[in-house]
Structure 1
Amino acid sequence: MIWNLGSINIDNFYEVPHLPAAGETLAATSYGFGLGGKGANMSVAAARAAARISHIGAVGADGRWTRDRLLEYGVDTPHIAQIEMPTGHANIVVERGGENSIVLFQGANVHLTEAIIGGALTEASPGDFLLMQNETNGQEYAAATAQSLGLCVAYAAAPFEASAVERLLGRIDLLVLNEVEASQLEAATGKTVGALGVADVIVTLGAQGCKWVSNIGEKHFDAYPADAVDTTGAGDTFTGYLVAGLDRGMDMVTAIDLALKAGSLMVMRRGTADVIPDLKEIQDRFGI
């Protein structure tokens, strides 16, 4: 079982000829909206990877439909509170080559209470996973509570803030971050990612795949070829599938391979949570 303390956003998508420069007004060629937020994306990915996942989060009255959408996608939602704050949202600008620029409003995501988080985790069992990102408040309390209950703590350190990661060191079992974030963390701590005291660190490398750093060494994994049209949500899809695979009993190598396959399909789609591939699509595409 996975317990995901995660953000829930309303994503607004704008397709543009190129990413706007400072001071530039640019007309979008298309517009759409859907369910998003790094937390929601990871919950959907984990559910589509055949894991059981319960989302811990908050929305405003304007976001009640996002909770319904998560439920439709197979995510348990009893621990998503409705509070007197607007739902978080993101304005996502995507250029023709698939690169994006995002403006994020945190909203209800950063007004979670310990009662909401603790009430959910009292239902957890030893050996479950707690998954977190950096788009909500309450990570330190959640990690300490999860650790005391015997859960495995996975942290996807984005949006990246070195101090946020440092505060959780000693409570993280699995750390996922990209190459730039890994470099920034090493600069802030004066340590390599392998010397942080985290059992397993996954550094994603975009089109170059990823590397797994553990106490037995470092292993590189190549990415699967893909014609990318939109990289939004690909990292979240990777993380959701990775944790789902581990929760289902896969070894790390097998879980990483599955996550890379999911990510390769995701970058060929426009959108976020609503277009995350399910396990059958991956099995059909890769013959597994």
Structure 2
Amino acid sequence: MGNIIVLGSANMDMVMRTSRIPEIGETMQGEGFFLSPGGKGANQAVACAKMGADTWFMGKVGDDLFGQSLLDGLSGYGVRTDYLTREPNVTTGVAAITVCNGNNSIILDGAANQRVTPDYIRGYKQQLLSAAAVMLQLEIPLETVYEAVRMLKGNVPIFLNPAPAVPLDGEILQGVDYFTPNEIECRLYTNVEIRSTEDAFKALNILRDKGIRYPLITLGEKGIVYFNGTENVYKEARKVAAVDTTAAGDTFSGTLAAMIIAGKSMDEAVDLAQKASAIAVTRLGAQEAIPGAREILG
């Protein structure tokens, strides 16, 4: 099995639980504050590594305490950080996360993540082209994502998790192999409001018409729909009591990529990714909540 390069963001999450979301101008009591390594790119890299994939993270953090902490955390989970740069005189990305009744709201400051430029990744062109797969998200500059897709299209399988969702050029979508929006993000790319399985299959077909080989739409507690190479498939969600959904999508995306690269079929990979995501939401935090291969594979 070859290596997976995750090109994306690394943030320090600042998390607090509340009984409800405060109104504008309101101050209220929270509880359980903690710091947790996060960022969609870093989370997905940890998910890949915890599934046993040879995982390398490519991105930037600041030359500060948070940056060192994120680097140490990734290394501790088995993620290779040779391509992770510490940017001088820039702060590390942060995310302020409020957790309320198992759901969350998030405010991001990308900081060093915004220094992951097209020129930066061109310096790693050969490493990217030699990977077994490359994972992308949208918490780094969009022009860098575009550069990566143009560089890799037709040469390396591309996994794109379009979050946070922004409009994407049609030419870029044609270069994506695995596309994993949730139902809200999917609406931006299909103009379909998913209220039924029929709606979800319609959205899948629209994504395929845009040139995406394997679209997958996560539907939260309602399950998932995806194209497995032959037909559209719906799978129910695993029933769990959610505590914190912060890393649910990242756990799914990272586990999916690791399982596909390990040779699992799409149906097998989706089932294992669902299982991993269901376990992650029963725990607080991001990377520390992601389960390992022993929990998933038995």
Query: Does the pair score TM above 0.5?
Result: yes
Change (3 A) 1:272 1:165: farther
User: For the aligned residues, what is the CA RMSD?
Assistant: 1.8
**TM-score between both structures, scaled by the size of structure 1:** 0.92
Hey, what does 1:49 align to over in structure 2? 51
Contact 2:14–2:34 (8 Å) recurs in 1: yes
Per-residue CA deviation, residues 206-263 of structure 1 (Å, 9 max, x unaligned), is 0111110366331011111111111111110000000010011111100000000001
**In 2, distance between residues paired with 1:214 and 1:281?**
24
**TM-score between both structures, scaled by the size of structure 2:** 0.89
Hey, what does 1:40 align to over in structure 2? 42
Contact 1:88–1:108 (8 Å) recurs in 2: yes
Give the 3-state SS of the residue equivalent to 1:255 in structure 2: helix
Hey, what does 1:89 align to over in structure 2? 94
Per-residue CA deviation, residues 35-68 of structure 1 (Å, 9 max, x unaligned), is 0001110000000011111111000012122111
Match of 1:110 among 103, 109, 114: 114
Partner AA of 2:58 in structure 1: I
Aligned residues: 280
1:253 correspondence with 2:267: yes
Give the superposition deviation at 1:270.
0.5
Hey, what does 2:149 align to over in structure 1? 143
Give the superposition deviation at 1:177.
0.2
Hey, what does 2:199 align to over in structure 1? none
Hey, what does 2:81 align to over in structure 1? 77
Give the superposition deviation at 1:194.
3.0
Hey, what does 1:154 align to over in structure 2? 159
**In 1, distance between residues paired with 2:49 and 2:169?**
26
- Mean alpha-carbon deviation: is it higher for 254-263 or for 11-20? 11-20
Change (3 A) 1:166 1:88: farther
Hey, what does 1:178 align to over in structure 2? 182
**In 1, distance between residues paired with 2:78 and 2:276?**
17
Give the 3-state SS of the residue equivalent to 2:272 in structure 1: helix
Change (3 A) 1:48 1:121: farther
Give the superposition deviation at 1:108.
0.7
Give the 3-state SS of the residue equivalent to 1:78 in structure 2: strand
Hey, what does 1:229 align to over in structure 2? 243
Partner AA of 1:239 in structure 2: S
Partner AA of 2:161 in structure 1: A
Change (3 A) 1:124 1:105: closer
Hey, what does 2:233 align to over in structure 1? 219
Hey, what does 1:22 align to over in structure 2? 24
**In 2, distance between residues paired with 1:114 and 1:236?**
23
- What percent identity do the matched residue pairs reach? 32
Hey, what does 2:200 align to over in structure 1? none
Change (3 A) 1:197 1:118: same
Give the 3-state SS of the residue equivalent to 1:177 in structure 2: coil
Change (3 A) 1:185 1:125: closer
Partner AA of 2:62 in structure 1: G
Contact 1:194–1:214 (8 Å) recurs in 2: no
**In 1, distance between residues paired with 2:174 and 2:42?**
26
Gaps of 5+ in 2: 193-202
